[in-house]
Structure 1
Amino acid sequence: MTADIPTTDIPLFPLQAVLFPGGLLSLKVFEARYLDLMSACLRENKPFGVVALRQGGEVRKPGEPVALEGTGTLAELIDVDSAQPGILQVRCRGTRRFGVNRMHQQADGLWLAAVEMLADDEVSLPVDAMIETVRGLANAIATLKQQGAEPFLKPFLFDNAGWVANRWCEILPISLAAKQKLMELPDAAVRLQLVDEFLRSKGVVK
């Protein structure tokens, strides 16, 4: 779905969150600009870009300065529910990362950006030293499921270093800026190594 995205304007959805490739994103959409955006994405079967906010809030406030990160992730719609009038519950899947070349804001507040697609993580097995971190993720998923939470999309790819690293990054109690830096890393093995070091420093992995 995202293989042929040109480096032309794509709509952006700024959030106080970082979307990783393969990640699940749930949104409650109620602002007119984003209701229109979701309708267009559904109608045209197109993705939109998710970027983290460096400054400003998710809800538009007149005169509030807004600054967006320069790297984001495309999101494709999985399902849309309009149980309440004027509100959409949306679930999306993160696909490819992109770098923003330039951006501008429309009169209605919607951001558009000319982007360049970034390389996907190379698929590689986690090295033997990361096995406990892989097991730790499997245990975390089982625990979350017992608590009624299922934050990850199937299939679970425990044999993919990038997938394991990304899923850990989504649930680690680290800052938005730290998650952004991890998402931007071009080497999945390095991302997983950093996650492993953090988990060991906290005693989560021995």
Structure 2
Amino acid sequence: MSTDTIPLFPLSHGVFPDGMLQLQIFEVRYLDLIKRCHRDNTPFGVAWIKKGREVQVPGEQPLMYSHGCMAHIREFEQIQPALLRVVCQGGLRFELHDVSPGPYGVWQGHVTYLPQDPVCSLPAEWQLHANRLGQWIASAQQQGLEDKLPLFAPYQLDDCGWLANRLAEVLPLEPEQKQSLLVQADPHQRMASVVELLTQA
């Protein structure tokens, strides 16, 4: 597993691998970051905020959870001179070791990249959850609304890790619950945890 120092975008809501993250950027420090990432075709790190605020407050450092996910820009639109709209796709997960101030007020994180999920077939007892998500996708397609779905194709409904990540994103979970799912390295265990949370809802 390789280590790196990356620019961080702390958010109250994060992203999972292959997930969709839609942002409107207006803070000067992040306008510069996103423009550079778009120009250089490089990702940035999204870290969930454990305590603190998304908007910069002088003298205040947000406390971030231990794990995050890289974000790759897929759509970029300059709505106004100081307002960007971007759609990003989640990449590799990472473990965040420490945080330090960086150029232009952007936090820098020293991270270790975590392996991609192996492709894992979905056990039969969880097929119901794949069917429900598939029905939602099919309904949007039939209504000509597929481009409004907060999902990237291809829809890997038979893959345990992909399904667990998508359900974790759309379910109304607390940040610490989503963080606990992101941390889990085993896709089957992550899916089992999602199913357990579903039964508690």
TM over 0.5: same fold? yes
CA drift of 1:198 comes to 2.7
CA shift digits 1:68-124 (9 cap, x unpaired): 112110111101100222100011000100112222013632101121110111111
Q: Distance between the aligned counterparts of 1:144 and 1:60, measured in 2?
A: 37
String of CA shifts for 1:35-83, please: whole Å, max 9, x gaps: 1101111222111000000011111112334101121101111011002
Matched, 1:43 2:39: yes
Q: Of 65, 73, 81, which residue of structure 2 is paired with 1:69?
A: 65
Find the counterpart in structure 1 of residue 25 from structure 2: 29
Deviation at 1:12, TM superposition (A): 0.4
| Whole-Å separation in 2 of the counterparts to 1:37 and 1:197 | 38
Aligned to 1:176: 175
TM-fit CA distance, 1:188 = 0.7
The answer as to 2:97 corresponding to 1:101 is: yes
Q: How does 1:1-206 map to 2 (within 5 A)?
A: 7-106=3-102, 108-142=104-138, 149-202=148-201
Residue aligned with 2:105, SS: coil
Q: Distance in 2 between matches of 1:48 and 1:195?
A: 27
Percent of residue pairs identical: 36
Give CA-to-partner distance per residue, 1:138-197, whole Å, 9 cap, x none.
133345665954110111001110000000000111101101110111111011112222
Residue segments in structure 1 that go unaligned for 5+ positions in a row: none
Name the SS for the 2:48 alignment partner: strand
- State how many pairs are aligned: 198
The unaligned stretches of length 5 or more in structure 2 are none
State the one-letter code of the partner of 2:153.
Answer: K
- Cα distance in 1 for residues equivalent to 2:118 and 2:83: 38
TM-score by length of 1: 0.89
Higher mean C-alpha displacement, 72-81 vs 107-116: 107-116
With over 3 angstroms needed to count, the CA separation of the structure-2 counterparts of 1:112 and 1:182, relative to structure 1, is same
What RMSD, in angstroms, separates the aligned Cα atoms of the two structures?
Answer: 1.9
Name the CA distance, whole Å, in 1 between partners of 2:28 and 2:18. 27
1: CA distance between counterparts of 2:11 and 2:195?
A: 26
How far apart, CA to CA, are the structure 2 residues paired with 1:15 and 1:143? 31
**1:155–1:111 Cα change, 3 Å:** same
Q: Against the structure 1 CA distance between its residues 58 and 144, is the aligned structure 2 distance closer, same or farther, given a 3 Å change threshold?
A: farther
Change (3 A) 1:140 1:22: same
